[in-house]
Chains A and B, each alone.
Chain A
Amino acid sequence: MPNIVVLVKQVPDTNAPVSISGGAVDFSGMKMVMSPYDEFALEAALRHKEAAGGEVTAVTLGGAGADKILKDAKAIGADHIVRLDHDGWADSNAVQGALAAAIRDLGAEVVYCGKSAADTGAGSTGPGLAEHLGWASASNVLALDFGADVTATVPAEGGDARLSVSLPAVFSCDKGDLKVRKPNVKGIMQAKKATVDVRAAQVGASSVRVVSCALPPAKPEGKTFHGGAAAADVARLLREEANVL
């Protein structure tokens, strides 16, 4: 029975406006949520458990504020919740190294994560973690079938490829066809009582540092036309002014 880990990350609510203060993003007052793709990863982990047995452990790297999304994961169905205690910036290598150490400690054979986190949008963690562990990986996973090997459907040139993936492996999940389950009352009650297993994070040195953050440059005001007939003018401008056709 596989020992299943799902990685979850706390990010600002994707509908929240962003403000910059002193060259950094002002997170005060921003509602924090589980990164949307991680919800699909959690769903995939729970389905793997339902198909093959085992237990699901939700793991996050973060400060005490991130306990909330672990409890959310517990309410939805995770068996165990672990927080690797760390505050502040770490580059991809440092993050993946800390996660790899924890996953070895947990004895996991399969890891699910979102295809990218809503804050960085990088999508580096899944494949990078797999390399740290020496495992297989499949990214942008749209669908999964659970057998002795896991079959993952991923986008490929000209269509969707069905990949046979031997465990141990890391799967980075896209939205795909999975409908995520919502927590039920029993799950919510259990999550309230659950304690987070807080462990020291083995975060190495980072060779990337953040210099500054800024709002994106304002786009010059566009041209607005009224009435459908103006579409002919726009077609002409696309060729003559924008030069894109």
Chain B
Amino acid sequence: MTETIIIAEMNGGVVAPATAELVTAALALGGAPVLVVPCTDGASADAAGFAGVSRVIAAKSPVFSSYDAAAWAEAIDGIAPAGHVVALASSRSKDLAARLAARRGLPVVQDVVSIDGGQLTSPILSGKAMQTVAVDGAAVVTVRANVMAPAAAADADVSVVDASGDLKTAVLEVVARASARLDVAEANIIVSGGRGMGEPGNFRHLEALADTIGAAVGASRAAVDTWDEIPHSMQVGQTGKTVNPNLYIAVGISGAIQHLAGMRSSKYIVAINKDADAPIFKHADYGIVATWEEALPVLSDALAGMMS
């Protein structure tokens, strides 16, 4: 039987939970799933088994200590069997997927949200349309987080294999973020503010809520363009980051097309806006028509009570 390779999503040298969703995607593609864990220490693959995964390969190499697209693709290519390849549609893994696909002469299909009878569907035009494609032969496929049900954990045989690749870039330094808070691209919950926050200093209210519920803080383009204090790294939307969290709380954001493009696929959307006609409400699961000054303290208190 052909095999389907799953590249484990790694975060801080640990197999990230979203890897369990990739197993479900691999089973939908067909082929016996083989989990490849890129690591510097084979122990990273311990307990990385999932129901349905036939075997686990710990691909051990110093190149996996920091990301270099060329070296990672070469190292994984060297040890992974032939077949479909599945990875998470995170920005790093999409980059790796493209590189690995080109290396193997395969096409890459990014940001897949459903797999049905060999056909793959992805959002295009910033989520304003869905495109379904059919693939002749093997492909490298990245899958959006939070769309596939996670496979259950299970025991698996782990074989540790030495992998190697040539680094084409060198890390000079990593400048730590000023805040310990998660980046919007990594977070499962995001609290975002728009120009409706009135002034950048009011983002501290969003930060306080975010810290209560373990969320990242994002912003609309209008907020980033208006206030120098709000950096582009926080921007969600067309020219910012595309996010797919479980919960997105939009405060004082009207919902311009370019913002919706970056967050409309969030699982649940809460909107707080004083304008009942704001377009964001059409996309919100829970809309609160009120000023943020009225609604945010109530929401923060209620959530703080629930989380304690």
Contact = CB atoms under 8 A, between A and B. Distances in A.
State which size class the interface on B falls in. 35 or more
Contacts of B11: 157
A20 B125 CA distance: 12
Contacts of A20: 129
Main secondary structure of the interface of B (DSSP, over half): mixed
Interface stretch (B20-28, B46-54, B198-206, B292-300): B292-300
Contact of A242 (B66, B106, B268): B268
A29 B240 CA distance: 27
Interface string B111-135: 1000000010001111111111111
Contacts of B79: none
B70 A137 contact: yes
Given A17-B128, A139-B91, A235-B306, A227 B294 contact: yes
Main secondary structure of the interface of A (DSSP, over half): mixed
Nearest to A225: B288
Given A132-B102, A207-B136, A224-B287, A213 B303 contact: no
Interface stretch (A2-10, A78-86, A89-97, A182-190): A89-97
B69 interface: yes
State which size class the interface on A falls in. 35 or more
Interface stretch (B55-63, B149-157, B169-177): B169-177
A36 to B, nearest CB: 5
B39 interface: no
B180 to A, nearest CB: 9
A12 B168 CA distance: 35
Nearest to B242: A121
A160 B178 CA distance: 11
Nearest to A172: B95
B270 to A, nearest CB: 6
A76 to B, nearest CB: 17
Contacts of A242: 247, 267-268, 285-286
B102 A244 contact: no
Interface stretch (A43-51, A57-65, A102-110, A123-131): A123-131
Nearest to A215: B129
A219 B283 contact: yes
Contacts of A160: 174-175, 177
Interface in A32-46: 36-37
B306 A155 contact: no
A128 B102 contact: yes
B141 to A, nearest CB: 10
Given A14-B126, A130-B69, A160-B174, A124 B110 contact: yes
Interface in A99-125: 118-125
Contacts of A129: 102
B103 to A, nearest CB: 5
A90 B296 CA distance: 48
Contacts of B131: 210, 212-213
B302 interface: yes
Contacts of A36: 238-239
B272 interface: yes
Contacts of A132: 102
Contacts of A209: 133-134, 136
Contacts of A131: 70, 73, 98-100, 102-103
A128 B103 CA distance: 8
A18 B95 CA distance: 27
A119 to B, nearest CB: 6
Contact of B108 (A37, A92, A163, A211): A92
B37 interface: no
A14 B124 CA distance: 11
A36 B276 CA distance: 31
B258 interface: yes
Interface in B250-308: 257-258, 261, 264, 267-270, 272, 276, 281, 283-291, 293-299, 301-303, 306-307
Contact of A222 (B176, B242, B286): B286
Given A121-B126, A216-B130, A228 B294 contact: yes
Contact of B298 (A118, A138, A140, A228): A228
B102 A96 contact: yes
A223 B289 CA distance: 11
A129 B98 CA distance: 9
Interface in A186-245: 206-217, 219, 222-232, 234-239, 242, 244-245
Interface of B: 11-12, 66-67, 69-70, 73, 91, 94-103, 105-111, 119, 123-137, 139, 168-177, 183, 185, 189, 213, 232-233, 235, 238-240, 242, 246-247, 257-258, 261, 264, 267-270, 272, 276, 281, 283-291, 293-299, 301-303, 306-307
12 contacts: A96-B102, A121-B110, A128-B99, A157-B11, A159-B174, A166-B168, A212-B131, A213-B132, A228-B291, A228-B297, A229-B298, A234-B299
List of 7 A-B pairs having minimum Cβ-Cβ separation, nearest first: A228-B294, A136-B168, A235-B302, A131-B102, A124-B98, A231-B299, A231-B298
